[in-house]
C-alpha cells in the first residue's frame, strides 16, 4: 500500500503545486488500491455496459471500512476527492482492460448522521458533501450543457479549450499571439456537450408538522442523473452544496442562490418511511388496539377543542386509516381506497380549525387553501421556466401528499383549472399533464379532506342545502361523505359550546399540563400518529361474508325505496364508499377482517349523510340525483311539468300570464308558492324570459 502523507492540505491548488503534488498522487494510488480490493466487479460491470452506464457507485460504508481518513476528506473536500477517485479509476481501467475510460465515481449511502434537513442547508455546508432527503416538486426539461468549450483565436487560428462551471463558461484570457479575440466553436465534436437538468426538492411532507413553510433547494444533475426524477417522488441525494450568482436580466447581482450539485440519487420506496416506530411503541400500539373504547378514544382525539360534530369526527377518524389499498379489478381498473370528505358550512363554524387540527394528526398531509392553491397548484402543471427557456413540470399538493391526506380549505374558491384536474386526481388517483408537447402522469394516491362555504356565503334555511353548494355536481359526487354545518340558533347548544370554548381558553393559559377530559385528546397525538402509520403500513382488511351481506342489504333496500318514484337513492359509486369506510373501521382495530360491526359503523355514517344532504325535502326521500345532477329528481320532474304547461299555453296565447301557468300547474297537484319559485328559477337559468310584467315566454322552442 502507498505511504500516505498525513494531515496535509488537499485543496486542488495545493495538489497541483510544487512539493505538495505528491500528496494528491498518494491519494490517487490509495483509491486505485481501493478499487482493486473492493470494487473490481462493479468497475467491470460499468465498463462492460458502457456507454449505457457511466458511473461506478461507491458505498460510503465500504470506503469507510477501507480507509476512514479518506472518507473524512471526502466530506470536507468532495471536489478534490472525487477528482482523485476518477483519476484512479481511469488508471484502474487501463490496468484491467488495457483501455483508459473516463467513468464517474458517485459516492452514496452517507450515514444519516450527515443528513442535512433541506431547511438547514446553509453557508456552513458550502462545497461540502451532504446527504439530503426530499420530495421532488419540479423538474425542468433536459438541456444540452457545454462541458468543454473550444475557442479559436480569430487572428492566429490557435484553439484553446476551457472547462465550464455550473454558472457560466469562461472565455480564455490571452492567446499565445498576445491578443484576446476568440470565437466559440459550438458545433458538436468541437465543443463537448452533455445533458443536464435542474429540479427542486422540498422537505419531506411527513417530516413537517403543522403548517410550517416548506423549505426547498434547487438541484443540478448531469449526464446519467438526468431524466430519473419525477415530481412527487422521494429521493435521497448525495451532493455538494454550491452557490450561483443570481442574474437580473443580463447583469450579475451580489445575491447568490444555493443549489445542490447532485452526485448520486437514490429513490425512496416505502410510504411513511420517515415515521419510525420503535419496538416499545409497537407494543403500546398493539395494547391500545385491544382497548374496547378505542374508536371513541380516537374520535375524541380528533379536534377535541371543537365542540360537537360527532359524525364528522368519526368520518375523519376513518379517513385517516383509509380502505384496503392495492385492489385491482380483472380489467385493470384500480379501486381507490382513499375516502374523500367534504364539509360545507356557514362561516365561523370551525371548519378551518378542524382542518388545521387534522393536519397535526395525519402522519402525512399537505394543507392548502383554495384561494392560494392556484399559485401552488393543487394537482400538477407545466410552467415556463423563469431562468432558462423551456418548461418546468411542477407537482402540486395532491401529488406531494401521495400516500397521505390533502387538506383543502376554501375548496369553493379554487381556480377553475385546478377544479378541472382535481376530478381525475380524486377518482383515478393519477394526474395527467398535457401541455406544450409535454405529456406526463403522476401518482396521487391521496385522500381529500375539503371545506367550503355555501353558495351565498351562508345557508338559506328555505332552500335545500344541496342546491347551495358552490361546487359542480360532478366534483361533489367524488366525495364519499358530505357534511353540512349550519350555524343554528339554539340556546342550550350555544351555552354548552361557549362553556367548551371557554374551558379551552382557560386551560390554554395554565402552565401545568391540561387535565380536563373534555378538551384533552384521549390519545397522545404522537402515539396516535404512529398508530395510524402503523395500521396503514401493516393491516390489509378483507370483507367477511357477514359484512358483505350487510352492505348488500343496505344497498338493495335503498334502491328499492327509490324504485317507486324512479329516484336513485344511492349509486354504485357510493357503495364503494361504504366498503372503504368499513375497511377503514377494521384497519382502525388492527383487524385483518372486516366484521359486521365495521359494516354497521360505515352504514350508520353513510345513512347520516344521506339523510342530511340527500333527502329531497319535498318528498322526504333520499335521492342521490341531488348531488350527481344537482337537483332532486322530483324537482326536475316538476320543472318539466311547468315547461309543458307553458308550451301548451303558448299555443293559445301570444304572451302567457304567470297566473295562468300557476293555475294550470296547481291543477297538476303542484303547490302554488313552489310553482312561482320554480318559474323564478327558470327565469334565472335563462329558460324563460319576461317580455312584459307578469308574463313569460319560453326562450327556446326545444325546451
**Residues at the site binding ligand ADP, with contacts judged by CB under 6 A:** 306-308, 345, 347-353, 497, 500-501
Return the sign of the alpha-carbon dihedral for residues 322, 323, 324, 327: negative
CB of 497 to ligand ADP, least distance (A): 5
CB of 355 to ligand ADP, least distance (A): 8
Nearest-CA neighbor of 22 among 41, 3, 35? Answer: 3
CB of 526 to ligand ADP, least distance (A): 23
The half-sphere exposure of 552 on its side-chain side, counting CA atoms within 13 A, is 7
Considering the rule CB under 5 A, would residue 641 count as an interface residue with Mg ion? no
Considering the rule CB under 5 A, would residue 467 count as an interface residue with Mg ion? no
Choose the contact partner of 96 out of Mg ion, ligand ADP, none; CB within 5 to 8 A by kind. none
Q: List the grid coordinates of 232.
A: 412527487
Helix (H) / strand (E) element for 548: namely helix 545-563
Nearest-CA neighbor of 87 among 70, 64, 107, 105? Answer: 105
Nearer to ligand ADP, 275 or 503 (CB): 503
Nearer to ligand ADP, 258 or 500 (CB): 500
Nearer to ligand ADP, 162 or 453 (CB): 453
Return the sign of the alpha-carbon dihedral for residues 277, 283, 284, 286: positive
Choose the contact partner of 345 out of ligand ADP, Mg ion, none; CB within 5 to 8 A by kind. ligand ADP
Choose the contact partner of 60 out of ligand ADP, Mg ion, none; CB within 5 to 8 A by kind. none
Considering the rule CB under 5 A, would residue 619 count as an interface residue with Mg ion? no
Residue pair 23/4 in contact by the 8 Å Cβ criterion: no
CB of 210 to ligand ADP, least distance (A): 15
Whole-angstrom Cα distance, residue 643 to residue 678?
10
Residue pair 585/541 in contact by the 8 Å Cβ criterion: no
Choose the contact partner of 167 out of Mg ion, ligand ADP, none; CB within 5 to 8 A by kind. none
Considering the rule CB under 5 A, would residue 353 count as an interface residue with Mg ion? no
* 244: exposed, middle or buried (Cβ count in 10 Å: 0-12, 13-18, 19+): middle
Neighbours of 280 (CB within 10 A): 8
- Orientation angle between helical segments 672-685 and 658-667, nearest 10 degrees: 130
Whole-angstrom Cα distance, residue 376 to residue 364?
18
Nearer to ligand ADP, 60 or 309 (CB): 309
Choose the contact partner of 334 out of Mg ion, ligand ADP, none; CB within 5 to 8 A by kind. none
Whole-angstrom Cα distance, residue 568 to residue 561?
9
Nearer to Mg ion, 352 or 618 (CB): 352
CB of 354 to ligand ADP, least distance (A): 7
CB of 354 to Mg ion, least distance (A): 10
Region binding Mg ion by CB under 5 A among candidate stretches 22-30, 191-199, 211-219, 347-355: 347-355
Give the residue closest to Mg ion by C-beta.
352
Nearer to ligand ADP, 356 or 630 (CB): 356
Choose the contact partner of 367 out of Mg ion, ligand ADP, none; CB within 5 to 8 A by kind. none
* 353: exposed, middle or buried (Cβ count in 10 Å: 0-12, 13-18, 19+): middle
CB of 378 to Mg ion, least distance (A): 17
Whole-angstrom Cα distance, residue 598 to residue 579?
9
Region binding Mg ion by CB under 5 A among candidate stretches 350-358, 441-449, 480-488, 499-507: 350-358
Nearest-CA neighbor of 154 among 172, 191, 179, 188? Answer: 179
CB of 468 to ligand ADP, least distance (A): 15
Region binding Mg ion by CB under 5 A among candidate stretches 46-54, 256-264, 352-360, 501-509: 352-360
Considering the rule CB under 5 A, would residue 352 count as an interface residue with Mg ion? yes
Question: Peptide bond preceding 51: is omega within 30 degrees of 0, i.e. cis?
Answer: yes
Choose the contact partner of 306 out of ligand ADP, Mg ion, none; CB within 5 to 8 A by kind. ligand ADP
Angle at 544 between CA 538 and CA 545, to 5 degrees: 165
Residue pair 203/149 in contact by the 8 Å Cβ criterion: no
| Total residues at interface with Mg ion (CB under 5 A) | 1
Nearer to Mg ion, 137 or 369 (CB): 369
Nearer to Mg ion, 352 or 467 (CB): 352
CB of 514 to ligand ADP, least distance (A): 15
| Distance from the Cα of residue 29 to its chain's centroid | 48
Whole-angstrom Cα distance, residue 359 to residue 208?
10
Whole-angstrom Cα distance, residue 64 to residue 67?
5
CB of 448 to ligand ADP, least distance (A): 17
Whole-angstrom Cα distance, residue 598 to residue 586?
6
Whole-angstrom Cα distance, residue 179 to residue 170?
16
Nearer to ligand ADP, 439 or 498 (CB): 498
CB of 459 to Mg ion, least distance (A): 15
Considering the rule CB under 5 A, would residue 211 count as an interface residue with Mg ion? no
Choose the contact partner of 307 out of ligand ADP, Mg ion, none; CB within 5 to 8 A by kind. ligand ADP
Nearer to ligand ADP, 277 or 503 (CB): 503
Nearer to ligand ADP, 356 or 473 (CB): 356
Choose the contact partner of 268 out of ligand ADP, Mg ion, none; CB within 5 to 8 A by kind. none
Q: According to the 3-state scheme, what is the secondary structure of 487-544?
A: CCCCHHHHHHHHHHHHHHHHHHHCCCCCCCHHHCCCCCHHHHHHHHHHHHHHCCCEEC
Nearer to ligand ADP, 200 or 349 (CB): 349
Neighbours of 372 (CB within 10 A): 12
Nearer to Mg ion, 44 or 352 (CB): 352
Choose the contact partner of 348 out of Mg ion, ligand ADP, none; CB within 5 to 8 A by kind. ligand ADP
CB of 469 to ligand ADP, least distance (A): 15
Region binding Mg ion by CB under 5 A among candidate stretches 236-244, 334-342, 344-352, 628-636: 344-352
Residue pair 74/122 in contact by the 8 Å Cβ criterion: no
CB of 410 to Mg ion, least distance (A): 7
Choose the contact partner of 484 out of Mg ion, ligand ADP, none; CB within 5 to 8 A by kind. none
Whole-angstrom Cα distance, residue 21 to residue 157?
34
Nearer to ligand ADP, 235 or 459 (CB): 459
Nearest-CA neighbor of 438 among 40, 3, 141, 33? Answer: 141
Nearer to ligand ADP, 81 or 449 (CB): 449
Residue pair 134/234 in contact by the 8 Å Cβ criterion: yes
CB of 406 to Mg ion, least distance (A): 17
Choose the contact partner of 497 out of ligand ADP, Mg ion, none; CB within 5 to 8 A by kind. ligand ADP
List contacts with Mg ion (CB under 5 A). 352
Amino acid at each position: 500500500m502507498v505511504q500516505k502523507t498525513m494531515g496535509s492540505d488537499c485543496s486542488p491548488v495545493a495538489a497541483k503545486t510544487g512539493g505538495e503534488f505528491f500528496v494528491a498522487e498518494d491519494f490517487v494510488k490509495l483509491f486505485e488500491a481501493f478499487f482493486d480490493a473492493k470494487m473490481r466487479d462493479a468497475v467491470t460491470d460499468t465498463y462492460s455496459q458502457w456507454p449505457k452506464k457511466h458511473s461506478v457507485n461507491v458505498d460510503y460504508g465500504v470506503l469507510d471500512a477501507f480507509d476512514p481518513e479518506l472518507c473524512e476528506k471526502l466530506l470536507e473536500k468532495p471536489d478534490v476527492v472525487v477528482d482523485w477517485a476518477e483519476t484512479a479509476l481511469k488508471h484502474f481501467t487501463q490496468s484491467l482492460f488495457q483501455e483508459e475510460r473516463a467513468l464517474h465515481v458517485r459516492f452514496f449511502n452517507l450515514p444519516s448522521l450527515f443528513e442535512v434537513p433541506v431547511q438547514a442547508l446553509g453557508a456552513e455546508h458550502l462545497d461540502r458533501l451532504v446527504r439530503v432527503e426530499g420530495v421532488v416538486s419540479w423538474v425542468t426539461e433536459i438541456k444540452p450543457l457545454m462541458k468543454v468549450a473550444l475557442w479559436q483565436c480569430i487572428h492566429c487560428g490557435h484553439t484553446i479549450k476551457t472547462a465550464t462551471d455550473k454558472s457560466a463558461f469562461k472565455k480564455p484570457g490571452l492567446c499565445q499571439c498576445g491578443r484576446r479575440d476568440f470565437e466559440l466553436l459550438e458545433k458538436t465534436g468541437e465543443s463537448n456537450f452533455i445533458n443536464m437538468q435542474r429540479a427542486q426538492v422540498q422537505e419531506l411532507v411527513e417530516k413537517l408538522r403543522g403548517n410550517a413553510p416548506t423549505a426547498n433547494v434547487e438541484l443540478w444533475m448531469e449526464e446519467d442523473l438526468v431524466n430519473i426524477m419525477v415530481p412527487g417522488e422521494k429521493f435521497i441525494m448525495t451532493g455538494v452544496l454550491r452557490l450561483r450568482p443570481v442574474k437580473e436580466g443580463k447583469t450579475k447581482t451580489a445575491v447568490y442562490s444555493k443549489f445542490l450539485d447532485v452526485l448520486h440519487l437514490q429513490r425512496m420506496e416505502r410510504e411513511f418511511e420517515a415515521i419510525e416506530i420503535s419496538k416499545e411503541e409497537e407494543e403500546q400500539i398493539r395494547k391500545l388496539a385491544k382497548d374496547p373504547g378505542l374508536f371513541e378514544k380516537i374520535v375524541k382525539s380528533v379536534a377535541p377543542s371543537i365542540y360537537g360534530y360527532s359524525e364528522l369526527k368519526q368520518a375523519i377518524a376513518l379517513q385517516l386509516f383509509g380502505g384496503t389499498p392495492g385492489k385491482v379489478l380483472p380489467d385493470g381498473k384500480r379501486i381507490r381506497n382513499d375516502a374523500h370528505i367534504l364539509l360545507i358550512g356557514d362561516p365561523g363554524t370551525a371548519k378551518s380549525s378542524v382542518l388545521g387540527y387534522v393536519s397535526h394528526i395525519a402522519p402525512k398531509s399537505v394543507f392548502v387553501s383554495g384561494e392560494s392553491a392556484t399559485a401552488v397548484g393543487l394537482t400538477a402543471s407545466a410552467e415556463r421556466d423563469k431562468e432558462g427557456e423551456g418548461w418546468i413540470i411542477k407537482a402540486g399538493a395532491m401529488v406531494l401528499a401521495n400516500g397521505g391526506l390533502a387538506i383543502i380549505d376554501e375548496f369553493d374558491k379554487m381556480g377553475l383549472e385546478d377544479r378541472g384536474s382535481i376530478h381525475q386526481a380524486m377518482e383515478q388517483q393519477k394526474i395527467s399533464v398535457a401541455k406544450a408537447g409535454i405529456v406526463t402522469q403522476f401518482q396521487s394516491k391521496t385522500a381529500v379532506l375539503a371545506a367550503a362555504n355555501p353558495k351565498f356565503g351562508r345557508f338559506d334555511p328555505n332552500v335545500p342545502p344541496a342546491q347551495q353548494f358552490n361546487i359542480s355536481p360532478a366534483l361533489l359526487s367524488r366525495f364519499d361523505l358530505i357534511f353540512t354545518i349550519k350555524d343554528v340558533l339554539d340556546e342550550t347548544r350555544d351555552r354548552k359550546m361557549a362553556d367548551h370554548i371557554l374551558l379551552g381558553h382557560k386551560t390554554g393559559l395554565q402552565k401545568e399540563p391540561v387535565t380536563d377530559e373534555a378538551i384533552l385528546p384521549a390519545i397522545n397525538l404522537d402515539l396516535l400518529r404512529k398508530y395510524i402509520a402503523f395500521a396503514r403500513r401493516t393491516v390489509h382488511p378483507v370483507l367477511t361474508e357477514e359484512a358483505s351481506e350487510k352492505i348488500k342489504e343496505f344497498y338493495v333496500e335503498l334502491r328499492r325505496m327509490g324504485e317507486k318514484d324512479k329516484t336513485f337513492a344511492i349509486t354504485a359509486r357510493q357503495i364503494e364508499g361504504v366498503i372503504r369506510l368499513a375497511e377503514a373501521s377494521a384497519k382502525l382495530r388492527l383487524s385483518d377482517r372486516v366484521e359486521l360491526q365495521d359494516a354497521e359503523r360505515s352504514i350508520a355514517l353513510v345513512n347520516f349523510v344521506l339523510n342530511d344532504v340527500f333527502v329531497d325535502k319535498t318528498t322526504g326521500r333520499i335521492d342521490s340525483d341531488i348531488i350527481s345532477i344537482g337537483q332532486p329528481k322530483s324537482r326536475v320532474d316538476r320543472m318539466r311539468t311547468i315547461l309543458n304547461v307553458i308550451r301548451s299555453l303558448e299555443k293559445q296565447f301570444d304572451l302567457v300570464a304567470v297566473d295562468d301557468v300557476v293555475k294550470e300547474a296547481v291543477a297538476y297537484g303542484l303547490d302554488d308558492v313552489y310553482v312561482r319559485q320554480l318559474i323564478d328559477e327558470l327565469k334565472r337559468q335563462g329558460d324563460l324570459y319576461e317580455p312584459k310584467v307578469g308574463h313569460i315566454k319560453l326562450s327556446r322552442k326545444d325546451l
